[in-house]
Amino acid sequence: MEAVSSDVANDRGVDTDTNRDESTLSYRQPPHNLEAEQALLGAILVNNEAAQKVQGFLLPEHFYEPVHGRIYEAVLRLSDKNQIADPVKLKPFFEHDEALKDVGGAQYLVRLAASAATIINAEDYGRNLYDLALRRDLIGIGEMMVIDAYDAPVDEEASEQIAEAEKKLFDLAEMGQADSGAQTFSKALRTAVENIENAYRDPDSLSGITTGLKSLNEMMGGLHASDLTILAGRPAMGKTALATNIAFNAAKRYADDREDGHDLERSKGAVCCFFSLEMSADQLAARILSDRANLHYNGHDNIQSHDMRQGKLTDEQFEAIARAAMELEDLPLFIDDTPALSIASLRTRARRLKRQHNLGLVVVDYLQLLRGSGKSSHENRVQEVSEITRGLKGLAKELHVPVLALSQLSRQVEQRENKRPMLSDLRESGSIEQDADMVMFVFREEYYKEKEQPSESEVEKHAAWQADMEALYGKAEVIIGKQRHGPVGTAQLAFKKEVTRFMDLTDAEHLPDQY
């Protein structure tokens, strides 16, 4: 083995004279272990089952010697086809490989197999090579940080460099490499088939995170990883209420699966972070608590969040709240109510939660309250919103989680006779529509009809208005105006205004009581 490692070392221009003083070397070599690479490859060539122990974490680019990475990749390809990968099979692929000529050409494969006699645990060798590869990437990130800090542009703030460095470190910690780069179609295909299989085996036929609402799940297939979903609407339509319901339902499903001992990797729930730039954390928590407390309360009147804040509660209502609070105590739902948060800060906080708590869903209420970077903020609002939506889409892809961002609509909706929103109503920037994978609108016709109440002296008009109000009471629409992975259309929901809860619409006898 020493002779083999010597050949490769000489090929890389490394002095292998053990008597030579190391202080004469003019540079420090990156961490690597060529002997371990050779021993692991030799073991794999002798027994291909050794590859199965390491292929889950060790990639071809983790080898320091490039030709070793190519040999490892060729072995994996043959193994995927259920073919034996040995020196004879691999010889045609490496006969004309320039990197092998100085060490004996394709004959080097035989020498690798012969060097496998001393290897006992292939996984230990693989972990060692993986660790060395991470150290090399870490050195690269450190060098870039130093260079960027010295040569930073005048208009670039130090906080931006910190955010970029943290992103690279996060990627290194999560994926084992600072830049995943291009991947083969076969790898992408395997991931797609796994997603299809998960949806096929799921009782709800979901490929993404559940919204907790059957009609929405049927149209969307859940909230998909790496997707940016925009939930838009005019004020008082219930955007925050619907987003809160979805966040709670996803977190509750995850908590239930965890308690039942199910495989959390396949859970249709998620650890969720709700970035609330409009409401405080305690107000948002009070909404959820009010909703859940009503499930424990059998009284006629609903427990409303504003009554909770003012202390206008009966003993029975307070007991229901206490039971609901105990139920929600371990809910995997985080709330960040930092005002005027920048998109860079939001990314940093989301990465930290992903690393520490396996974050699976990000909700932002709402995107117009986010700030862009310093330089774009001084230009114009349209460019700033464009930067924010690109940042949210980038975050979804980087963390491989769905991002649900709320958005305001322009006032032109109010000027039309038909108040149902359209994509052109998205406020301030066309990039919202462009960057989003899905755009949904919340619409409650009841809200607008209520404002049209005629005078009671106009008996016929008032009676017709009252009939319309009864037909619209407690109903809401979620209009899917854009969806890259499915059809557009409208999902009919029930909305219980007193407790700000959206539910699946059932038949008339199960709708909320009408007053």
Tens digit of each residue's pLDDT (9 = 90 or more) over 154-202: 767 777 777 777 777 777 766 544 444 566 677 677 777 777 776 666 6
Which residues are CB-contacts of 385 (< 8 A; sequence separation ≥ 6)? 367, 368, 372, 428, 429, 431, 432
User: Which tokens in the block code for residue 44?
Assistant: 């794999």
Least-confidence region, from 195-204, 400-409, 420-429: 195-204
Domain co-membership, 323 together with 435:
yes
**Which pLDDT score is estimated for 301?**
62
Position 24 pLDDT exceeds 80: no
Is residue 147 domain-resident? yes
Domain boundary residue, one of 411, 441, 471:
441
Residue where a domain terminates, one of 140, 162, 184: 162
Does the residue 179 lie in any domain?
no
pLDDT band at 53 (very low <50, low <70, confident <90, very high): confident
Q: What is the CATH number of the domain that holds 331?
A: 3.40.50.300
Pair (157, 217) in one structural domain: no
Q: Is residue 421 part of a domain?
A: yes
Burial 297-309 (b: 16+ CB within 10 A, else e): beeeebbbbeebe
Looking at the chain, the whole-number percentage of residues with pLDDT higher than 70 is: 80
Domain that holds residue 137: 2-17+27-162
Residue 362 has a pLDDT of 93
Q: Give strand ranges (E) for 122-166.
A: none
The mean pLDDT of 325-338, rounded to a whole number, is 85
Q: Regarding predicted confidence, which is higher, 135 or 182?
A: 135
- Is 165 in contact with 351 (CB distance < 8 Å)? no
Amino acid at 67: V
Other Cβ atoms within 10 Å of 438 Cβ, number: 23
Q: Do 224 and 103 sit in the same domain of this protein?
A: no
Q: Evaluate if residue 300 carries a pLDDT over 60.
A: no
Residue 48 lies in a domain: yes
The edge-to-edge listing of strands for the beta sheet with 333-336 is 333-336, 271-276, 359-365, 403-408, 228-233, 438-443, 475-483, 489-496, 501-504
Residues 123 and 258 in one domain: no
In the prediction, which pLDDT does 117 show? 47
CATH code assigned at 59: 1.10.860.10
pLDDT computed for residue 16 by the predictor: 45
The pLDDT-based confidence of 143 (bands split at 50, 70, 90) is confident
- Tell me, yes or no, whether 307 and 431 share the same domain: yes
- pLDDT of the residue at 192: 73
CA 351 to chain centre: 10
Residue 254 lies in a domain: yes
What is the average pLDDT across 471-492?
85
Q: Is residue 475 part of a domain?
A: no
pLDDT in tens, 366-380: 888 888 776 545 457
Q: Do 65 and 142 fall into the same domain?
A: yes
133 and 228 share one domain: no
pTM tops 0.75? no
Domain boundary among 144, 162, 180: 162
Is the domain of 136 the same as that of 284?
A: no
Query: What rounded mean pLDDT belongs to the chain?
Result: 77
Tell me the angle at which helices 2-11 and 34-46 cross, rounded to the nearest 10 degrees.
Answer: 120
pLDDT over 80 (residue 396):
yes
> Do residue 108 and residue 237 come from a single domain?
no
105 with 238, same domain: the answer is no
Domains contained in the chain, number: 2
How many angstroms separate the CA atoms of 515 and 504, rounded?
A: 20
Within a domain: 34: yes
